[in-house]
């Protein structure tokens, strides 16, 4: 649901250059679709080549600007820096960065080894800092930019078997606060989005059992299932100039699960 006339169109996103990490599937793919439907020039990175290439064709086939896909493992920070530079050279200076790539693999406290812990920080946290560092100079020079970091309500609600993931997600909120102060004087905004449980294909396949879904429904004030498009519309608003005075915050889209 990308060009639904019930929802907003943002003139400030037309022709804006947007970078999405982990954009080939799940929430990231919906961000790619919705930014392209706004007329933005979207670059995205992912390790899932087939899904990435299929998404490019689907978006272009819908008549939207053709996104630029580059295979990149965001854990390889040097490679990622290089790819960010390539995307900017091809599309123009990046005005919106959506730090979205992540992995919520379950892990019990007793089994976590230092290498695994490190791995989860690399896939969920480290790249968000280094991507922001890479795009910031051009945003600051233009005095215009929006960085959106994907956190999670899991850093605020009681869940088991995700200690490293939840630590990384909590760290993203501190990162958001810190970068918003650093970049704010130059007109660059940094916000964090905390999704609740969103029904991406991977969640539906791996984790959505009738019992878990009943728990979700009871925990939320709005019992409905949340879709990737619900998160994408918040991300669009944070990227657009409509939110020009909002920075350093976390924004929750969880159907009313988390209590702040």
Which residues of this protein are in contact with ligand NAD, per CB under 6 A? Answer: 22, 24-28, 45-48, 73-75, 100-104, 123, 150, 152, 195, 197-198, 200, 202-203
Contact status, residue 229 vs residue 30, Cβ threshold 8 Å: yes
Residue nearer to ligand NAD on the CB measure, 245 or 260 = 260
**Helix residue ranges per DSSP H, the chain:** 26-37, 49-61, 77-91, 114-121, 127-142, 163-183, 201-206, 210-219, 228-239
**Cα 236 to Cα 83, 119, 206, 214, distances in angstroms:** 23, 30, 28, 30
Residue nearer to ligand NAD on the CB measure, 24 or 134 = 24
As measured in angstroms, the least distance from the Cβ of 80 to ligand NAD is: 8
Find the residue with minimal CB distance to ligand NAD. Answer: 26
Residue of 7, 77, 11, 81 whose CA lies nearest to 39: 11
As measured in angstroms, the least distance from the Cβ of 66 to ligand NAD is: 19
As measured in angstroms, the least distance from the Cβ of 256 to ligand NAD is: 15
As measured in angstroms, the least distance from the Cβ of 62 to ligand NAD is: 19
Contact status, residue 124 vs residue 169, Cβ threshold 8 Å: yes
Q: Does the annotation mark 165 as catalytic?
A: yes
Plot region of 253 (φ>0 → left; ψ -120 to 50 → alpha; else → beta): beta
Query: What φ, ψ does residue 44 adopt, rounded to 5°?
Result: -145, 155
Query: What φ, ψ does residue 61 adopt, rounded to 5°?
Result: -65, -25
Query: What φ, ψ does residue 14 adopt, rounded to 5°?
Result: -60, 125
Residue nearer to ligand NAD on the CB measure, 9 or 206 = 206
As measured in angstroms, the least distance from the Cβ of 166 to ligand NAD is: 10
Choosing from 7, 10, 116, 165, the catalytic residue is: 165
- Annotated catalytic residues are 165
């Amino acid at each position: 649901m990308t060009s639904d006339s019930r929802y907003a169109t943002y003139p400030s996103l037309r022709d804006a250059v947007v970078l999405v990490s982990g954009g080939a599937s799940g929430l990231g793919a919906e961000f790619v679709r919705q930014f392209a439907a706004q007329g933005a020039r979207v670059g995205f990175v992912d390790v899932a080549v087939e899904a990435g290439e299929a998404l490019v064709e689907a978006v272009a086939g819908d008549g939207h600007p053709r996104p630029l896909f580059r295979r990149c493992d965001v854990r390889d920070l040097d490679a990622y820096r290089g790819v960010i530079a390539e995307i900017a050279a091809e599309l123009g200076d990046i005005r919106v960065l959506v730090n979205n790539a992540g992995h919520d693999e379950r892990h019990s406290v007793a089994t976590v080894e230092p290498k695994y812990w490190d791995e989860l920080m690399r896939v969920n946290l480290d790249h968000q800092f280094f991507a922001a560092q890479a795009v910031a100079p051009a945003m600051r020079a233009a005095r215009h930019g929006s960085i959106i970091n994907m956190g999670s309500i899991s850093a605020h609600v009681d869940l088991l078997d995700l200690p490293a993931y939840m630590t990384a997600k909590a760290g993203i909120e501190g990162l958001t606060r810190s970068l918003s102060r650093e970049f704010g004087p130059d007109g660059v905004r940094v916000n964090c989005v905390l999704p609740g449980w969103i029904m991406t294909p991977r969640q539906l396949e791996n984790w959505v059992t009738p019992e878990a879904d009943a728990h979700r429904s009871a925990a939320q004030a709005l019992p409905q299932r949340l879709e990737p498009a619900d998160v994408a519309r918040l991300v669009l608003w944070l990227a657009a100039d409509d939110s020009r005075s909002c920075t350093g915050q976390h924004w929750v889209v969880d159907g009313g699960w988390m209590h702040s």
